[in-house]
């Protein structure tokens, strides 16, 4: 364990470096836009560098153990400590958050949404980054809660200030939903704290002692956490904030939201709810699974009903997170592996889709599927990228999406002992049906937007090539997107790059469930 303890500064630096950037930017006048952007980007890159260093220092043979552990006093009165660590589950998400931030920064270089003011925008983004990274490494419930909440306000403003027409409603909705969830979650945390003898908020400690709680109590505490996390995921009945938030948010906001924020919920399930309350998990699993498959079908139906491209993508997130939750609900290492992979894959793919949607919006000033057509003809590269992402999103083997989707379905065939096989096999079939729906709405979207002849209203200025606004993918977009596209392919072809890291960590979690 000792060789894992050294270099314990890495995580703290990686998490709080963005705040240093924020401090610097506070003293840069608003007018110095380029300077602000530069500082923000440099900060993000520096953070990413730390992240890369973390990758290199990570001991992959012990991916199941917490690494870079750091623990110091924080709130001694309530026995909560500043306790951080990283294992195979956290690592991909932790790193992904850094990558996404950098890419979004690059994209923002010439895509600052109205009403401008890059300084504030980028500061919020950096704060967001700290919150996201922190959530994935916190090993203390209170610390986790603080980070978990830290992302709220920046996202609220990102949507509310830089969003679309209906942004104020969307942002408030987003905030109230999440806050409602986390309020109950906090109550659950405290109940957990006292039921385990009011000794500590440290997750490892709670994992050891949580199982001893009486089953009924567990079920109730789990309920509190469930609402907290399910809202964030979002799972079926709690999902309605997502489409609004996504649709109204600026491109960067949507990307971060889809790529990272949604993962906080699923991560919470895997890191906190399930390992700490194994009995309750077994009780809840069928219901979680049920909501998951409902989400899959429901999200797909939602997609088919949309006339707005971005909203469609948003609904597809509901469906995809359904697959993730289905994997988790099986409580098997197979399913959880799929879930983690699914989180990352969904982050890459849907993030990418939102990038594309944003660029389409920027060029055509509309996302109405009915008005768009012939992208392939007018902006071929963008069109091909859209097609690529659609294929990845519908779970085409060889691309990242498949590895979150198929193993999740697979795992539902035999869930952990103690769960009804029949029920979960039904779930499996429904989920498999969901893949067809996914193909349906994505191809349908693609056929209507990319195929056919371009809509004359956009070619009116003469030939489409010299149409002033509508140009093909530009440099910043290429820089921002290429890494994602590559990652989608690489993880699709060599999934073990990630499974190798996840598997041991998940194994340790599942071992606790005794299933």
Partner 1 sequence: MLSSLLAATPWTAPSVDYHGLAPEIVVALGLCVVLLVDLFLAERSKWLLASLAGFTLLGAFIPVLTLALDDAGVRSMFDGRYVIDDFSLILKGLFLLAGYVIVLLSTTYIEEGEYYQGEYWVLMLASILGMMMMTSSRDLVSVFVALEFLSIPAYMLAAWRKRDAKSNEAGVKYFLLGVFASAVMLYGMSLLYGVTNSTLLTDIGASISGDLTAVRILAIVFIVVGFAFKVSAVPFHTWAPDTYEGAPTPVTAFLSVASKAAGFVALVTVLYVAVPGGSDVWQPLIWVLAVLTMTVGNVLALRQTNVVRMLAYSSISQGGFILMPLAVAAEGGAGEAVLRSVVTYLIVYAATNLGTFAVILAVSRKTRSGEISSFGGLFSYAPGLGVVMTIFLGSLAGIPPLGGWIGKFSAFQAVLEAGTGWAYAIAVVGAVNSVVAFGYYGNVMREIWMRPAPDGDTTPIRTPAPLVLALSITTLATLALGVLPGVALHFGDLATFASGLGG
Partner 2 sequence: MFAASEAAAETAAVALKSGWFLENAWIIPIIPAVAFALIIFFGKKLPMKGSELGVLSMLASLVFAAGAGFQWIDRVNGASEEQFIDPVIKTWTWWQSGGFDLTIGQHIDGLSLTVLVVVAFISSLVQIYSLEYLRGDRRYTHFFASLTLFSAGMMNMVIADNMIQLILGWEIMGLCSFMLIGHWWEDGANSRAALKAFFTTRTGDIGLLVGTSILFFSANSWTQEHLGVSGFSIRGLSAWALTGNPGSVAITAGAFALFAACIGKSGQFPLHTWLPDAMAGPTPVSSLLHSSTMVVAGVFLVARLFPVFYEGMNIYGSSMNFITLIGGITIVIAALLAFVQNDIKKVLAYSTVSQLGYMMMGLGAGAWLPAVFHIFTHAFFKACLFLAAGSVSHSGSHHSFDMKKDMGGLRKYMPITFVTWVISTLALCGVFPLSGFFSKDEIIDNVGHAGYDVFMIVGLVGAFMTAAYMTRATYLTFFGEPRGAAAGEHHEEDSHGAHDSHDDHGAHDDHGAHASHGPHESNAFITVPLIILATLAIGAGFLNATPFGEKWENMKKWVEPRPVVVADMDHGSVGEMRGLRTADTMPATTDTVVATEDTIVVMEEGVSGEAKTAPLMAAAAPAESASGEEGHGEEGHGSHSSECGKKTPDAGVCYAPYVKHAPFKWSKAALSMLIVFAGIILSWLVSVQLYTRKAGFFFGLTKRNKLLAAGHAFLVNKYYLDHLYEKIIVRGIAHPIAKGAYWINQNVLDGVVNGAGIGTKGIARWVYRNVDQRVVDGAVNGSGAVARGAGGALRPVQSGKVNQYGALLFAAAAVAGLVLIIINT
What residue ranges bind partner 2 (CB under 8 A)? 173, 176-177, 237, 239-240, 298, 300-306, 332-334, 337-338, 374, 376-377, 391, 396-398, 402-403, 406-407, 409-410, 412-414, 428-429, 432-433, 435-437, 439-440, 443-444, 447, 450-453, 494-496, 499-500, 503, 507
Q: Is 34 in the site for partner 1 (CB under 8 A)?
A: no
| Site string (181-220) toward partner 1, x via CB under 8 A | --xx-xx--xx-xx---x----------------------
d(CA 146, CA 15): 13
Task: Identify whether the C-beta of residue 138 lies closer than 8 Å to the C-beta of residue 147.
Answer: yes
d(CA 196, CA 320): 35
Q: Is 157 in the site for partner 1 (CB under 8 A)?
A: yes
Give the residue among 403, 396, 394 at the shortest CA–CA distance from 495. Answer: 403
Q: Is 24 in the site for partner 1 (CB under 8 A)?
A: no
The binder of 439, among partner 1, partner 2, none, by C-beta within 5 to 8 A per type, is partner 2
Task: Identify whether the C-beta of residue 293 lies closer than 8 Å to the C-beta of residue 430.
Answer: yes
Give the residue among 335, 435, 347 at the shortest CA–CA distance from 391. Answer: 435
Give whichever of 73 and 307 is closer to partner 2, judged by the CB atom. 307
Which token pair is 5?
A: 């303890």
Task: Identify whether the C-beta of residue 344 lies closer than 8 Å to the C-beta of residue 337.
Answer: no
Give least dist CB 135 to partner 2, A: 25
Give whichever of 260 and 445 is closer to partner 2, judged by the CB atom. 445
Give whichever of 28 and 294 is closer to partner 2, judged by the CB atom. 294
Distances in Å between the Cα of 148 and the Cα atoms of 21, 54, 152 are 21, 22, 8
What is the DSSP secondary structure assignment for residue 308, as one 8-state letter?
B
CB atoms under 10 Å from CB of 46, counted, come to 17
Q: Residues 20, 45, 120, 294: which binds partner 1 (CB under 8 A)?
A: 120
Task: Identify whether the C-beta of residue 365 lies closer than 8 Å to the C-beta of residue 302.
Answer: no
What is the DSSP secondary structure assignment for residue 61, as one 8-state letter?
G
Residue identified by tokens 């597809």 is 316
Give the residue among 427, 402, 431 at the shortest CA–CA distance from 414. Answer: 427
Q: Is 31 in the site for partner 1 (CB under 8 A)?
A: no
| Site string (167-186) toward partner 1, x via CB under 8 A | xx--xx--xx--xx--xx-x
Give whichever of 49 and 190 is closer to partner 1, judged by the CB atom. 190
Q: Residues 58, 121, 156, 284: which binds partner 1 (CB under 8 A)?
A: 156
Give the residue among 157, 102, 91, 97 at the shortest CA–CA distance from 132. Answer: 97
The binder of 440, among partner 2, partner 1, none, by C-beta within 5 to 8 A per type, is partner 2
Stretch that binds partner 1, among 69-77, 230-238, 249-257, 293-301 (CB under 8 A): 69-77
Residue 329, C-beta contacts closer than 8 angstroms, at least 6 positions apart? 285, 286, 288, 289, 292, 335, 415
d(CA 154, CA 160): 10
How many C-alpha atoms does 218 have within 13 Å on its Cβ side? 22
Task: Identify whether the C-beta of residue 480 lies closer than 8 Å to the C-beta of residue 104.
Answer: yes
Give whichever of 260 and 470 is closer to partner 1, judged by the CB atom. 260
Please state the separation of Cα 416 from the chain's center in Å.
26
The binder of 198, among partner 2, partner 1, none, by C-beta within 5 to 8 A per type, is partner 1
Give least dist CB 305 to partner 2, A: 4
Q: Is 490 in the site for partner 1 (CB under 8 A)?
A: no
Stretch that binds partner 1, among 83-91, 141-149, 238-246, 486-494 (CB under 8 A): 141-149
Give whichever of 41 and 249 is closer to partner 2, judged by the CB atom. 249
- What are the residues binding partner 1 (CB under 8 A)? 30, 73-78, 120, 142, 145-146, 149-150, 152-153, 156-157, 160-161, 167-168, 171-172, 175-176, 179-180, 183-184, 186-187, 190-191, 193-194, 198
């Amino acid at each position: 364990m000792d060789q894992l303890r050294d270099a314990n500064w890495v995580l703290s630096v990686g998490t709080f470096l963005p705040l240093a950037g924020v401090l610097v930017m506070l003293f840069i006048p608003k007018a110095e836009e380029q300077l602000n952007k530069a500082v923000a980007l440099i900060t993000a890159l520096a953070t990413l560098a730390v992240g890369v260093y973390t990758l290199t220092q990570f001991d992959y043979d012990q991916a199941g153990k917490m690494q870079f552990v750091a623990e110091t006093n924080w709130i001694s009165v309530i026995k909560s400590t500043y306790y951080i660590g990283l294992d195979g589950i956290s690592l991909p998400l932790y790193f992904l958050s850094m990558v996404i931030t950098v890419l979004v920064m690059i994209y923002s270089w010439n895509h600052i949404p109205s009403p401008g003011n890059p300084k504030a925008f980028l500061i919020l983004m950096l704060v967001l980054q700290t919150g996201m990274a922190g959530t994935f490494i916190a090993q203390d419930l209170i610390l986790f809660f603080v980070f978990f909440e830290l992302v709220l306000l920046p996202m609220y403003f990102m949507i509310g200030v830089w969003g679309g027409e209906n942004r104020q409603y969307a942002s408030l909705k987003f905030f109230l939903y999440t806050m409602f969830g986390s309020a109950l979650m906090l109550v659950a945390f405290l109940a957990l704290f006292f039921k385990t003898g009011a000794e500590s908020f440290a997750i490892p400690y709670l994992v050891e002692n949580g199982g001893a709680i009486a089953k009924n109590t567990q079920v109730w505490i789990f309920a509190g956490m469930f609402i907290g996390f399910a809202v964030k995921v979002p799972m079926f009945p709690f999902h309605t904030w997502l489409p609004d938030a996504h649709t109204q948010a600026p491109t960067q906001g949507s990307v971060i939201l889809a790529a990272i924020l949604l993962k906080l919920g699923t991560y919470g399930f895997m890191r906190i709810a399930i390992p700490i309350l194994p009995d309750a998990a077994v009780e809840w699993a069928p219901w979680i699974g049920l909501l998951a498959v409902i989400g899959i079908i429901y999200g797909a139906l939602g997609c088919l009903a949309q006339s707005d491209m971005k909203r469609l993508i948003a609904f597809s997130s509901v469906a995809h997170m359904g697959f993730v939750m289905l994997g988790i609900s099986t409580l098997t290492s197979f399913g959880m592996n799929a879930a983690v992979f699914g989180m990352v894959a969904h982050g890459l793919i849907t993030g990418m889709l939102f990038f594309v949607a944003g660029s389409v919006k920027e060029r055509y000033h509309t996302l109405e599927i009915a008005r768009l057509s012939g992208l392939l003809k007018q902006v071929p590269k963008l069109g091909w990228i859209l097609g690529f992402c659609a294929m990845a999103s519908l779970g085409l083997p060889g691309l990242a999406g498949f590895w979150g989707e198929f193993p999740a379905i697979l795992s539902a065939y035999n869930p952990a002992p103690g769960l009804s096989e029949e029920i979960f096999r039904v779930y499996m079939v429904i989920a498999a049906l969901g893949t067809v729906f996914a193909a349906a709405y994505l191809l349908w979207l693609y056929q209507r937007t990319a195929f056919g002849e371009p809509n004359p209203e956009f070619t009116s200025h003469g030939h489409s090539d010299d149409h002033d606004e509508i140009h093909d993918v530009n440099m910043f977009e290429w820089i921002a997107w290429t890494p994602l596209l590559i990652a989608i392919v690489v993880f699709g072809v060599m999934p073990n790059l990630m499974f190798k890291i996840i598997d041991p960590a998940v194994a340790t979690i599942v071992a606790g469930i005794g299933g």
